[in-house]
Amino acid sequence: MNERDQFRRAAIGQGVPEDEVARFAELIRFQIHACQREEGVHVGRRGGRPRLPVGMPWPTCSEGFPLPFLLRLDCAALPRVPDLALPADGTLLFFLDQESALDACGIEPEQEFARVVYVPAGAETVDGEYVVPADTEMEPFLAPEHEMYAGLQAELPDWLDRSEEWLSATQIQLLRDMPHRTEMSALLEQLWPERNWWLPEDVFIGGYTISAQDPPEVIMVDPERERRQARSLPRPERMVALYEERQRVMREWVPLAQFGVPDEEFVNARFLIRHDDLAAGRFDRALSFCEFTE
């Protein structure tokens, strides 16, 4: 029995109708939260120097500049999460040049400045060494090292707390179909209490995307499909179609890692990956959505 099944059984045991429990349970996303406090299991490290497979060069952009290394996750130590097919072992390394990523115009250009590297368990590794292109000046950029400790928490979409005037017709109907949502939210918090967190220093794996502006799911919606719907559908139906399209994107993609960028108070790193690519270990297909929050 996984955590989602555990919630279903507990909610039904409190007398909530099964169909209502099922609707609510579909909204739950379980998330690994890692922080510097020694709470939970040791799962990796922020900053420092990465251990790269022998013969693998330090990741660079097309002009040859090395990408800053920000995070290492030890997959074998990460808590198991429902619907998140993380590798059973090995390590994940995250690289990001946040300034260039923010300056990039569009999803595809940004990826030149971000990289996720998977190092299989048992691979022979060495401390990575970056090389600066000749005749250029570049300050050392190794971030301070911090060990990370993780636990599991449960998340709900933030729109559950909004007034109906900000919701789509689909969301309003869903709320009305869950009259016990307050009790179920309290049960969820009781089973998996929210850990104290601070985005500039913590790391989040799975769950919902963290966004101060438009979330990645909005950015990834097919613009041509949006234009067709705008021309062909009345506004109420268009809003429902847009909501359903965003939900489709959210079902396909999951946050692989989200965290604040060191020494950048208003910059968040967000790496997303399709569920099928995660299950197949295709980490080269992860996408960066670096965000300036001000």
d(Cα 254, Cα 135) in Å, to the nearest integer? 41
* Mean pLDDT score, 54-73: 94
- pLDDT top residue among 24 and 232: 24
Q: Region 86-98: what's the mean pLDDT?
A: 97
Instruction: Show the beta-strand stretches assigned E in the chain.
Output: 29-35, 41-46, 51-53, 69-74, 91-96, 114-119, 125-127, 146-155, 203-206, 253-260, 267-274, 287-288, 291-292
Model pLDDT, residue 139 = 66
Please give the pLDDT value at position 218.
81
What pTM did the predictor assign? 0.91
Q: How would residue 235 be classed by pLDDT, with cut points 50, 70 and 90?
A: low
Round the average pLDDT of the chain to a whole number and report it. 90
Q: Using CA atoms, how far apart are residues 189 and 57, in angstroms rounded to an integer?
A: 44
Are 256 and 278 within 8 A, CB to CB? Answer: yes
Q: What is the pLDDT of residues 158-192, one digit of tens each?
A: 889 888 888 878 889 999 999 999 999 999 999 99
List pLDDT tens digits, range 28-50. Answer: 999 999 999 998 999 999 999 99
List b or e across 18-35, with b for residues whose CB sees 16 or more CB atoms inside 10 angstroms: eebbeebeebbbbbbbbb
Burial of 95 by CB count in 10 Å (0-12 exposed, 13-18 middle, 19+ buried)?
buried
Residue-wise pLDDT for 256-281, tens only, equals: 999 999 888 889 999 999 999 999 99
Number of C-beta neighbours around residue 250 at 10 A:
17
CA nearest to 274, candidates 260, 265, 263, 284: 284
Rg (CA), the chain: 21
pLDDT of residue 222: 66
pLDDT band at 132 (very low <50, low <70, confident <90, very high): confident
DSSP classification of residue 76: G
